[in-house]
Structure 1
Amino acid sequence: MTTEHPSITRFRDDHTSRGGTGEIVVLPDAVHTAALAAEALGCDVGAIANSLLFDADGSPVLVLTSGAHRVDTAKVAERIGVATLRRATPEFVREHTGQVIGGVSPLAHPAPVPTYLDSWLRRYDVVWAAAGHPSAVFSTTFDELAAMTGATEIEVA
């Protein structure tokens, strides 16, 4: 009998409590990049919602972006009204999400994190995102992801 990693269990509980309807999949290998996740799931890399935590002058900001492109941090900082967005350190990520880089989910954080959702993801009927661990993902829709996270839709590129 294998035991589920505690971060996946926390994600599963939070996902259920928020009314998530998608499938949670634990893959045999870590999929810590959008390309690896897309390959493992057999989907377009653009359908992968990367959960990227940024440091906005000491405060966390989560950007859920399509794996098809990179976040323009200067444009996003301007759009959301912060001075700068910097790449978060692994310690900052773990402190604010309780998860590790490569497995950060849009849910199940110790405290609410301001979240922004890449409008590009609307192009996909099914979106996949990390489920709290580098080998776990879940399926959702753009609208469900927005509802579960309370995210504000923005253009990130």
Structure 2
Amino acid sequence: MTSTIELDRPIATRPRRRRRWPLVLAAGAGAVLTTAATGAAYVVSHAGNRPLPAGVHTVEVYTVDDAISTVVAPKDRPGVVGRFLGMCDADTYYVEAGGTGLCLVLNGSLGSVRATGTAQGARLDAGQAAEVRDIVRQDERGAEEPDTRVVLKYDDGWAGLVKVADLEAGGPVTGTVIR
């Protein structure tokens, strides 16, 4: 028979706890591996920028902030992961145009125009080139330095890089292909 004094005493042995850390560790490792595998699959399959397809498309107009955009030396160009991210740092975009690597800081979108995709790059007819020129002039109001380059962007990537000086000529303009 058990005395009441023994019932009032604390229990000397604790009930055995189940160790949950192996389960938590396995779930965390599974989440990390799934995320890494998904990211790696995208990086490996990512084809980079796709030039503007043939035909007429609506493109967005961005001006390049030349004061803080830079040319990237061949030894400093980002690798596969950098190309996947498409960025040099938090607010600049890495592109290759005309064989030169560039970290561009963009202003915009300032508007949209219609461009035609060609093998040489995005082509603006005279009317659309004049519209881009007017967009650039409006963006330059009050600026200390005039804009010198415009980037055209479409849904799947960068359509082309256009020099503002080419827009001033008044005719059709073809932008450099961005890779």
What is the TM-score normalised by the length of structure 1? 0.29
What is the TM-score normalised by the length of structure 2? 0.26
Structure number with the higher strand fraction is 2
